[in-house]
Amino acid sequence: MEQVSQQQSPPAKRPTIADIAKIVGVSKVSVSNALNGQPGVSDATRAKIAAVAEELGFVRNSAARALSGAKAAAVGLALCRPARMLGTEPFFMELIGGIEKVLSDASYSLALQVVSDHERGLEAYRRWWGERHIDGAILVDLRRDDARVPALEEMGLPTVVIGHPSGSGRLTPVWSDDAAAVRETMEYLAALGHRRVGRVAGLTGLVHTAIRDEAFTAACADLGLDALPTVHTDYTGEEGARATRRLLLSPTRPTAILYDNDITAVAGLSVAQELGLSVPRDLSLVAWDDSPLVQVVRPPLTALTRDIHAYGAHAARTLLDLVAGRPVDGYEDLAPQLTPRGSTAAPPAD
């Protein structure tokens, strides 16, 4: 706390289109048109303007541009995570990376706010939109009967919802078929010979949790498997461990467990090993979402893989279409693919 290092305030004034206009000897409007590729400027003039702009290091003032009714060239994302869940899931960094890729190619930027609850998230969207700070928004962590959906609809803010169409109202959904992934996994486990499969799920309120819950129950019924009660968690390692312990110590101990994320699956693996169970000999585990994490443990976990980066990119691309007024349908991404690794095998003979 001893280091002193001051910065002086910016002295130089930024060049404006008026400066360029004066130098080139044309009007502001011609400069504006030239720089924006609008017609009505000769190629010669256009070139001269471009040269001067370059030389002066001209940068458009987005405030002025926005004020004149143009786009803000930014989209908003209010991420709702209680502090302790932050950083537990690689999912969001990946997703944001994908979103960012598309946005920055279009010279859009992302306004990000991490908030404690959906209420405050909605406030952020409302402020950004009211201030004309953003042209569109991305909504994540979709809940059942999510109050944010009607609110955003009413605001008229172009929004892409990352989540199933069943919960996205009139907003544009981008989603993947989680039910299919559950089905594929259950068929795989059933084929291996498993009859009692447990499930450690995520937060109950989320739409995708409900969808997976349902698909899980349906698959059990279809495949004639024992339906064990699903245990819900908050995605943390601790709850994943607790849930796994509960399943493994119950009288109807499962021979395989399907997790809703990577952290709980890894925690489950540790619990199993603590209890003296060998994976995959005594117990098979499947993680949802592939990440460095699940590949680094021993044995590496069988996982439901999806390209989260691409998922985010699709959402961003869809939003840009929406903002530009291009006709937009929802976008269904690929369903997560089962990637078998060392954590799944036939159940013990018993």
By the rule CB under 7 A, 133 interacts with DNA: no
Considering the complex, what minimum distance in angstroms separates the CB of residue 47 from a second copy?
22
By the rule CB under 7 A, 37 interacts with DNA: no
Distance CA(263)–CA(88), nearest Å, equals: 7
Site string for a second copy, 35-64 (x = CB under 8 A): ----------------------x-xxxxxx
Site for a second copy in 226-265 (CB under 8 A): 236-237, 240-241, 263
By the rule CB under 7 A, 230 interacts with DNA: no
Interacting residue with a second copy among 22, 28, 132, 246 (CB under 8 A):
132
The one-character DSSP state at 235 is S
Q: 25 or 57, CB closer to a second copy?
A: 57
Considering the complex, what minimum distance in angstroms separates the CB of residue 191 from a second copy?
28
- Decide: residue 270, CB within 10 A, 0-12 exposed, 13-18 middle, 19+ buried: middle
Query: Please, which residues have CB within 8 angstroms of residue 17's CB and are 6 or more apart in sequence?
Result: 28, 31, 32, 35, 58
Closest CA to 319 of 65, 102, 66, 101: 102
Considering the complex, what minimum distance in angstroms separates the CB of residue 7 from DNA?
21
Beta strands 172-176 and 302-305 are unpaired
Distance CA(303)–CA(333), nearest Å, equals: 18
Q: 33 or 264, CB closer to DNA?
A: 33
Distance CA(243)–CA(52), nearest Å, equals: 66
By the rule CB under 7 A, 11 interacts with DNA: no
Choices 55-63, 85-93, 198-206, 252-260; region in contact with DNA by CB under 7 A: 55-63
Distance CA(277)–CA(75), nearest Å, equals: 48
42 binds, among a second copy, DNA, none (CB under 5 to 8 A by kind): DNA
Choices 24-32, 45-53, 98-106, 143-151; region in contact with a second copy by CB under 8 A: 98-106
Site string for a second copy, 303-332 (x = CB under 8 A): -----xx------------x--x-xxxxxx
By the rule CB under 7 A, 40 interacts with DNA: yes
Whether the CB-CB separation of 35 and 60 falls below 8 Å is answered with: yes
45 binds, among DNA, a second copy, none (CB under 5 to 8 A by kind): DNA
Q: 33 or 185, CB closer to DNA?
A: 33
By the rule CB under 7 A, 27 interacts with DNA: yes
Q: Which amino acid is at 151?
A: A
Q: Which amino acid is at 298?
A: R
Distance CA(281)–CA(275), nearest Å, equals: 13
Site for DNA in 199-228 (CB under 7 A): none
Interacting residue with DNA among 38, 104, 116, 166 (CB under 7 A):
38
3-state SS assignment for residue 162: strand
By the rule CB under 8 A, 218 interacts with a second copy: no
* CA dihedral angle for residue 280, residue 336, residue 265, residue 201, rounded to 10 degrees: -120
The one-character DSSP state at 297 is S
CA distances from 311 to 188, 206, 209, 332 (A): 25, 18, 18, 9
Interacting residue with a second copy among 25, 40, 54, 83 (CB under 8 A):
83
By the rule CB under 8 A, 1 interacts with a second copy: yes
By the rule CB under 7 A, 56 interacts with DNA: no
Count of CB atoms situated within 10 Å of the CB of 33: 18
Choices 38-46, 152-160, 189-197, 224-232; region in contact with a second copy by CB under 8 A: 152-160
Interacting residue with a second copy among 74, 149, 215, 301 (CB under 8 A):
74
Distance CA(100)–CA(198), nearest Å, equals: 37
Distance CA(350)–CA(347), nearest Å, equals: 8
Binding residues (CB under 7 A) for DNA: these are 13-14, 16-18, 25-30, 32-33, 35-36, 38-45, 58, 60-61, 64-65, 67-70
